[in-house]
Amino acid sequence: MSAVQVKAGQTFQIACTITADDGALIDLSDYAINAQIRDALGNLVSQLFTRKPANTMGIVNIWSETQSWPLGRLFCDLQFIRPDGVIQFSETFSIVVSASVTHMGV
C-alpha cells in the first residue's frame, strides 16, 4: 500500500474494507475495532475514531482531526478484537503529513 497523503489541519478520514483470505467481506458487527497513529519512535499521535456503518459487511470508517499532528511520516494499523477474544491487526500503513498552504483568516 502506498502512503496516505494528508495536509495538517484537514480531517483525516478513510474507509477500510476488511476481507478474509478468500476475499469475502467479514461481518464485523460484534468486533471491537481500535486504531492509532504513531510516529517513527512509537509515540502516540492520535487515537482514531472508528465506526462500522449500519447494514454493511467488512467496512470500517476511521477519522481524526490533524491540527496537532507533526509533519512527516506517521504510521497506523487497525486492531480487531473478535467476539471470541482473538486479537488481530491489519497491515501497518504510513501517512505522510505535509503543511497546508492556505490559512483562512491570516
Strands 49-51 and 59-65: antiparallel
Minimum mean pLDDT among 37-41, 53-57, 97-101: which range?
A: 53-57
What is the distance, to the nearest Å, from the Cα of residue 56 to the centroid of all Cα atoms in its chain? 18
Share of the chain above pLDDT 90, in %: 86
**Predicted TM-score of the model (pTM):** 0.88
Pick the CATH number of 4-97 from 3.30.1330.60, 3.30.930.10, 3.40.50.1820, 2.60.40.10: 2.60.40.10
Which pLDDT value is given to residue 104?
76
Query: Is the pLDDT reported for residue 1 higher than 90?
Result: no
Residue type, 103: H
Structural domain boundaries of the chain? Answer: 4-97
Which pLDDT value is given to residue 96?
97
Which pLDDT value is given to residue 24?
94
Four-residue CA torsion sign, 41, 94, 38, 66: positive
Q: Are 17 and 52 in contact (CB under 8 A)?
A: no
